């Protein structure tokens, strides 16, 4: 006898949870950097095209597919894919990607989220107060990460302590379950995150020019740096790939998380309006709040020349190096600095708990074990897997994990599920399933988009991306000779993880078939 599955208590709960999964560090750090590096305002053209033709269709697909599979007692991609194409005995193994990808991201994302908690404390106690320039702040970050030993940190002790705290918070929330843990967290964390974001954005947007001799260093020109379009950039395929990639990151589609979350819906629960609402909530966080803080604030204090190198330095430097310096230059610096990193921590924790849920659901649903036992197994295994990301960060292990788990798997999984949904399951049946219990009538044009445009878009992205980034990464172009053993070690770990998950799927289905035959 199979046990009763967990469930969401309210529509608001599932919307907040999916929004929490989507609203992460990428909204506030990655998005403004991507926009600034890829044509400014012109970046928003392929961004919105990708949102309409890729992001929203995939959001609806994953909500619908997840609810459908949940009706058969499956909360992860192997089981869900199997229910959609029962005649194909291999399709469930493609679904392994939907557990593997979130697990890979979890084992490094957790560590990065712990940095935000640490820096919130550092802001409150004035740890980085004496640091006055970019070089000093970067040295502090590298010391904290264990990349170098310096006057700020001589070991990884502080970083590891905050990792343990963050990891423990994740496990506690997951242990409390869907409604008692994740839903309760997101109902508190998401409104708090938005309030913090609005307060910081308002403070940034009301900054005057700090240097009277440089009146051009003002907030309007800072917004202009981000939003003034360089239309010549639209000729570059890289800009289109970057925009599509940002949509994947920002909506949390192609990972397998939304499938699992939606599997806890009831048959008549709406997926059309709820999915669109969750996507809209995420876009508000990214476009309105995310774009109004970091780049404009950095422009005001560092000017048009240094802002180029700041944007080129990437999301981590922007968030952990530039922003602390910005907050040092305004009144109530400790208050705003602490609020900024608390915002990032809330965004990180609501995302990381969602990344753990596919593994937990897989153990519960396919092996029929208790929530407590599933969480203990997940905690033990994921804790061990987290260690390479912590101790070998400086050797490129996190970059390697991010490439396979946070980039490659996203595009590949999205392509598989879109073809399965629109062509194998059938667009007519899919369209009917999407509208079952729906409070919103999806425009009919999306029937054509989901069947033809979205998969074509995905194949183009996969092809161009593989040639431009995939092949050089696979061949370890740009990886130093000293780092290659660590990168190879990370790849062996990833292959081992995928093989183990594949074997577990095989065991689960063999056990299921045996039970069925004994009846």
pLDDT at residue 464, rounded to an integer: 82
pLDDT at residue 461, rounded to an integer: 84
Residues of the chain with pLDDT > 90, as a percent, come to: 61
pLDDT in tens, 477-487: 889 999 999 99
**Residue 297: band (very low, low, confident or very high) from pLDDT cuts 50, 70, 90:** confident
pLDDT at residue 80, rounded to an integer: 96
Q: How far apart are CA 62 and CA 95, in angstroms?
A: 13
Q: How far apart are CA 367 and CA 78, in angstroms?
A: 13
Residue 2 resides in a domain: no
Residue 35 resides in a domain: yes
DSSP state of 476: T
Contact 96, 80 (CB under 8 A): no
pLDDT surpassing 70 at residue 383: yes
Q: How far apart are CA 418 and CA 56, in angstroms?
A: 12
φ and ψ at residue 388, rounded to 5 degrees: -60, -35
Q: DSSP 3-state assignment of 147?
A: coil
**Residue 243: band (very low, low, confident or very high) from pLDDT cuts 50, 70, 90:** confident
* Residue-range definition of the domain harbouring residue 30: 11-518
Q: How far apart are CA 173 and CA 221, in angstroms?
A: 43
**Residue 3: band (very low, low, confident or very high) from pLDDT cuts 50, 70, 90:** low
Q: DSSP 3-state assignment of 266?
A: coil
* Contacts (Cβ under 8 Å, ≥6 apart) of 476: 484, 487
pLDDT surpassing 80 at residue 252: yes
pLDDT at residue 4, rounded to an integer: 77
Note every long-range contact of 465-472, with CB atoms under 8 Å and residues 24 or more positions apart, other chains counting: 465/241, 465/245, 465/407, 465/411, 468/237, 468/238, 468/241, 469/407, 470/408
**Residue 505: band (very low, low, confident or very high) from pLDDT cuts 50, 70, 90:** very high
Residue 215 resides in a domain: yes
Residue 255 resides in a domain: yes
φ and ψ at residue 229, rounded to 5 degrees: -80, 135
Residue 493 resides in a domain: yes
Residue 345 resides in a domain: yes
**Residue 318: band (very low, low, confident or very high) from pLDDT cuts 50, 70, 90:** confident
Average of pLDDT values for 40-62? Answer: 92
Q: How far apart are CA 214 and CA 210, in angstroms?
A: 8
CA neighbor of 315 nearest in space, from 120, 60, 30: 30
Residue 4 resides in a domain: no
Output 518 or 447, whichever has higher pLDDT: 447
Q: How far apart are CA 516 and CA 519, in angstroms?
A: 5
Contact 144, 152 (CB under 8 A): yes
> What is the average pLDDT score of the chain?
90
Q: How far apart are CA 471 and CA 477, in angstroms?
A: 9
**Residue 518: band (very low, low, confident or very high) from pLDDT cuts 50, 70, 90:** low
Q: How far apart are CA 43 and CA 241, in angstroms?
A: 10
Q: How far apart are CA 442 and CA 222, in angstroms?
A: 38
CATH number for 300: 1.20.1740
The residue count for the chain: 519
Residue 237 resides in a domain: yes
Average of pLDDT values for 115-139? Answer: 89
**Residue 319: band (very low, low, confident or very high) from pLDDT cuts 50, 70, 90:** confident
Total domain count, the chain: 1
DSSP state of 74: -
pLDDT at residue 207, rounded to an integer: 83
pLDDT at residue 225, rounded to an integer: 81
Q: DSSP 3-state assignment of 278?
A: helix
Q: How far apart are CA 377 and CA 115, in angstroms?
A: 25
């Amino acid at each position: 006898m199979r046990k009763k599955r967990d469930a969401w208590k309210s529509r608001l709960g599932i919307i907040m949870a999916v929004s929490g999964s989507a609203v992460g560090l990428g909204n506030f750090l990655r998005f403004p950097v991507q926009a600034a590096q890829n044509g400014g305002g012109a970046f928003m053209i392929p961004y919105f095209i990708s949102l309409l033709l890729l992001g929203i269709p995939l959001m609806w697909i994953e909500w619908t597919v997840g609810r459908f599979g949940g009706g058969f007692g499956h909360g992860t991609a192997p089981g869900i894919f199997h229910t959609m194409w029962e005649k194909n005995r291999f399709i469930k193994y493609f679904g392994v990607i939907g557990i593997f990808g979130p697990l890979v991201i979890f084992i490094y994302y957790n560590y990065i989220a712990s940095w935000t908690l640490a820096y919130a404390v550092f802001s409150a106690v004035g740890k980085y107060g004496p640091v006055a320039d970019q070089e000093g702040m970067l040295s502090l970050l590298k010391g904290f990460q264990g990349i170098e030993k310096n006057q700020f940190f001589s070991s990884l002790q502080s970083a590891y302590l905050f990792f343990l705290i963050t990891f423990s918070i994740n496990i506690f929330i997951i242990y409390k379950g869907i409604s008692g843990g994740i839903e309760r967290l997101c109902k508190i964390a998401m409104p708090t995150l938005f309030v913090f974001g609005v307060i910081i954005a308002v403070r940034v947007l009301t900054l005057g020019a700090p240097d009277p001799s440089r009146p051009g260093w003002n907030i309007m020109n800072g917004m202009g740096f981000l939003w003034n379009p360089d239309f010549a950039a639209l000729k570059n395929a890289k800009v289109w790939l970057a925009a599509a990639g940002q949509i994947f990151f920002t909506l949390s589609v192609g990972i397998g998380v939304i499938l699992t979350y939606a599997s806890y819906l009831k048959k008549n629960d709406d997926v059309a309006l709820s999915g669109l609402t969750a996507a809209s909530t995420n876009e508000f966080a990214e476009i309105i709040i995310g774009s109004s803080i970091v780049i404009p604030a950095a422009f005001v204090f560092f000017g048009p020349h240094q802002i180029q190198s700041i944007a080129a330095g990437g999301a981590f430097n922007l968030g952990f190096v530039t922003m602390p310096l910005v907050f040092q230059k305004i009144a109530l610096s400790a208050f705003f600095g602490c609020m900024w990193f608390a915002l990032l921590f809330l965004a990180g924790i609501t995302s990381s708990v969602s990344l753990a849920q596919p593994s937990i659901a897989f153990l519960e649903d396919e092996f029929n074990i208790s929530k407590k036992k599933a969480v203990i197994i997940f905690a033990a295994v994921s804790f061990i897997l987290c260690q390479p990301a912590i101790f070998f960060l400086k050797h490129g292990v996190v970059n390697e994990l991010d490439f396979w788990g946070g980039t490659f798997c996203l595009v590949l999984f999205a392509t598989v599920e879109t073809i399965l949904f629109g062509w194998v399951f059938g667009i007519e049946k899919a369209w009917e399933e999407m509208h079952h219990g729906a409070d919103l009538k999806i425009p009919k044009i999306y029937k054509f988009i989901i069947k033809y445009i979205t998969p074509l878009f995905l194949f183009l992205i996969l092809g161009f991306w593989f040639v431009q980034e995939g092949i050089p990464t696979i061949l370890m172009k740009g990886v130093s000779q000293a780092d290659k053993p660590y990168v190879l070690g990370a790849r062996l770990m990833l292959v081992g993880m995928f093989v183990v998950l594949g074997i577990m799927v095989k065991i689960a289905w063999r056990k299921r078939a045996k039970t069925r035959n004994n009846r």
